[in-house]
Structure 1
Amino acid sequence: MPSTVKVTAKPVTCTSFDTVLLKVGVKMPTALAANRTTSRIVARGPSLIPFPIVRTSPASPRRVETPNRCPGGIRRACACIVHVGRSGKDLASALSVNRNCRPGMEVVVLGAKGSIGGAVVRRARFAGHRVRAVVRPSAGADRFPAGTEVVHADLQSRESVVEAARGADVVVHAANVPYPEWPRLVPALAENALAAAEAAGAILAFPGNVYVYGHPRSRPVLEDHPREPNTQKGKVRLHVEQMFLQAHRDGRVRLVLPRYPDFYGPGIMHEIFRPIFEGAVHGQPCRWPLDADAPHEFVLIDDAAEAMLKLVATPAAHGRAVHVPGPHPITPREFIRLVYASVGRREPTIRVFGRRTFRFVGLFNRLARSAYEMAYLFDDPVLLDGSLYRSLTGTPHPQTPYEEGVRRTMDWFRSHRTTS
């Protein structure tokens, strides 16, 4: 068993090849680098608060006790394993995709049964955080990771949401509603999330999208692109973002606002993606709106969650939108080919339908009618520039290759299609 020592601020001389591995529990290792002579670790990513360090050897690691309350009120695990080794390369295999967020936080996810909410729950639990999944009373709890606290709450009730988020370090507002309900419910849900984060003194994390930009003036789009939504839903989202940003400026909350393109991945089977995966499994044609050859962008839902947690742990990213693009632009036709290839199918037959068909379906389908105003994104897509993310965090945005992301999604689809 490692010996227990008190934290010391005594300077320790490290060679340029020395690497400090800080490991919280046994789940969440973090690679940090130390200066040649220093009493504090210089964090390359996740740790916002410098740690005093002690000299140990890889063969005899020591346990370093740290306070359970850190500056700013963030709760942290009480003990860490620290050792100095000769090669950072040797530690690479030990690092997980969730190395970016401070361990031991209380993360409350509102709307945890949704795509991004569920992904944040998974990633945060994997990182060793305490996670409270807040769901509507009608939602089940069978798909959450072990150790997740599940709370049923009326997300339209401010008192209920505030109570559900009590004691949170981070409140993730991932609650969503069908398109037809956006004008009535989206602002109200956002106000409740803001009230909950403010009452808890927590960071408020909100997944942004490209609706607020309207038609793109450039490709790729930077964060300073004019926010000129040309749709009702874009205006609703802009209203919510402006409310959150103003609350950040007023000091009521600290806001984290990653902006994403379209999500894809396990658990995401809406009216666009489901026919593609079904067509691939059954060897049948699939359909796509408007233009199958226009450059598009998709982000794997797990990458989106990882990026959000990274930005939570990056104070310079608070209070501003930060783009989290996909790996690279890809045409829907190329993406669909990957889906079919993942089950050994050859060139798929893609039936492209235009605006007239879109509008006709809307005569009989309320959801399609409400989605029609967003059709411009299929032939005039918004592509995001991710350079600010790298500049702020010091690392590239998470970018699982499309081939790998499609494979994971297909594996999930084939195992869930009878019940999804």
Structure 2
Amino acid sequence: MQVILGAGGAIGKDLAKELKHFTKKVRLVSRNPQKINENDELFPGDLTDTQFVEQAIKGADVAYLVAGLPYRVKTWNQHWPVIMRNVITACKKYKCKLVFFDNMYLYDAEKLSPMIEETEVNPPSKKGRVRAQIAQMLMHEAENGNLKALIARAADFYGPGISNSMFNEAVVKNLKAGKKANWFCSVKYKHNFTFTPDAAKATAVLGNTENAYGQVWHLPTVQAQTMQQWIEATARELGVEPKTMVVSKFLIGVLGLFNPLMREMKEMLYQYDRDYEFDSSKFETVFKMNPTSAKKAIKEIVGAL
């Protein structure tokens, strides 16, 4: 049996579909889990509750921590270390392997092109410092032989039917509605995105590959291109003009006075004012799995609207 912790999010749903190829039973853990496969076990509860996490992991061979928390520094500081500690403790108790689905926020802002698994950890943001803290907690246990664990790391998301993707919300949906595609700082810099179905498939493969443990893996991610190219490709698929509005740092600062999300975005703008190239060649070489092309991914995203 394998268990998904945070099963209701963008990755959890696709991961449940992929895990049926590796295990007869999948346990879905979230506040309000919904069946993806016919024989899924639903396990509702709160990952900040130590006893609940122990029960959620009991009996599992592999646990996938793919939870997402509200995009607020205060929430991340309060809950992420607790969740990671709970999951590590339970996995050690029941000899369960752990796969942590992570992002790139912990990397040095001056070394985003390219980002590889060995890129220096030097988070420039408060949210990045939280991610660095919990990743270090996990790898410390793995390196000391206390736990079989790995980190599966993704770039920014895009994918069909997800609502927490900047690309989906600011580019695809705006263009489809006849509005301008919005982006931060500039559209001249390179950026790339991890397609959620690719991320889920690769995460399932990693969790079921014994010699993948003890390592960090970048999940298959399409080659970077300028945001202007991304916007033009999306406009072509939609059959509209590639109109664009660039939101400046100054404007985001002003909007942050009134909009909580913009306030949280301010410290993350370093990701948009320089090239952002997430390299997944290690995974692609080892597992012979290439990312879905940008053209095909955009087509699927548009088709799901």
Q: Which runs of 5+ in 1 are unaligned?
A: 1-105, 414-420
Give the 5 Å matches for 1:102-121.
106-121=1-16
Check 1:388–1:367 CA distance in 2 against 1; reply closer, same or farther (3 A cut). Answer: same
TM-superposed deviation, 1:383 = 1.7
The answer as to whether partners of 2:11 and 2:196 remain within 8 angstroms in 1 is yes
Q: Which of 22, 35, 47 matches 1:155?
A: 47
Check 1:207–1:372 CA distance in 2 against 1; reply closer, same or farther (3 A cut). Answer: same
Q: Deviations over 1:249-300 (max 9, x none)?
A: 2322211212211111023223733242322322222211111121001011
How many residue pairs end up in the alignment? 302
Q: Which of 140, 158, 161 matches 1:264?
A: 158
Letter in 2 for 1:186: W
Letter in 2 for 1:150: L
Cross-structure match for 2:186: 291
Cross-structure match for 2:117: 223
Q: Which runs of 5+ in 2 are unaligned?
A: none
TM-superposed deviation, 1:126 = 5.1
Q: State whether structure 2 residue 53 is matched by structure 1 residue 169.
A: no
Q: Which of 237, 260, 265 matches 1:366?
A: 260
Q: Which has the higher contact order (CA 8 A, sep 6+)?
A: 2
Q: Deviations over 1:182-235 (max 9, x none)?
A: 111111111122123222211101112111112133632332221111111111
Q: Deviations over 1:4-44 (max 9, x none)?
A: xxxxxxxxxxxxxxxxxxxxxxxxxxxxxxxxxxxxxxxxx
Give the 5 Å matches for 1:178-197.
178-180=70-72, 181-197=75-91
RMSD: 1.9
Cross-structure match for 2:17: 122
Superposition TM-score, scaled by structure 1 size: 0.68
Give the 5 Å matches for 1:11-22.
none
Q: Deviations over 1:302-351 (max 9, x none)?
A: 10111112222333321121222412112222222232322322x32110
Q: State whether structure 2 residue 109 is matched by structure 1 residue 208.
A: no
Mapped to 1, the partners of 2:258 and 2:42 lie a distance apart of 37
Q: Deviations over 1:347-374 (max 9, x none)?
A: 3211001101111111112222122101
Give the 5 Å matches for 1:325-336.
325-336=220-231
Q: State whether structure 2 residue 200 is matched by structure 1 residue 308.
A: no
Cross-structure match for 1:61: none
Letter in 1 for 2:247: F
Q: Deviations over 1:69-118 (max 9, x none)?
A: xxxxxxxxxxxxxxxxxxxxxxxxxxxxxxxxxxxxx2200110111222
* Structure (1 or 2) with the greater helix fraction: 2
Name the stretch that deviates more: 120-129 or 251-260. Answer: 120-129
Mapped to 1, the partners of 2:124 and 2:97 lie a distance apart of 30
TM-superposed deviation, 1:164 = 1.2
Give the 5 Å matches for 1:10-49.
none
Mapped to 2, the partners of 1:307 and 1:336 lie a distance apart of 27
Name the stretch that deviates more: 279-288 or 367-376. Answer: 279-288
Q: State whether structure 2 residue 172 is matched by structure 1 residue 277.
A: yes
Check 1:214–1:130 CA distance in 2 against 1; reply closer, same or farther (3 A cut). Answer: same
Q: Secondary structure in 2 aligned to 1:196?
A: helix
Superposition TM-score, scaled by structure 2 size: 0.92
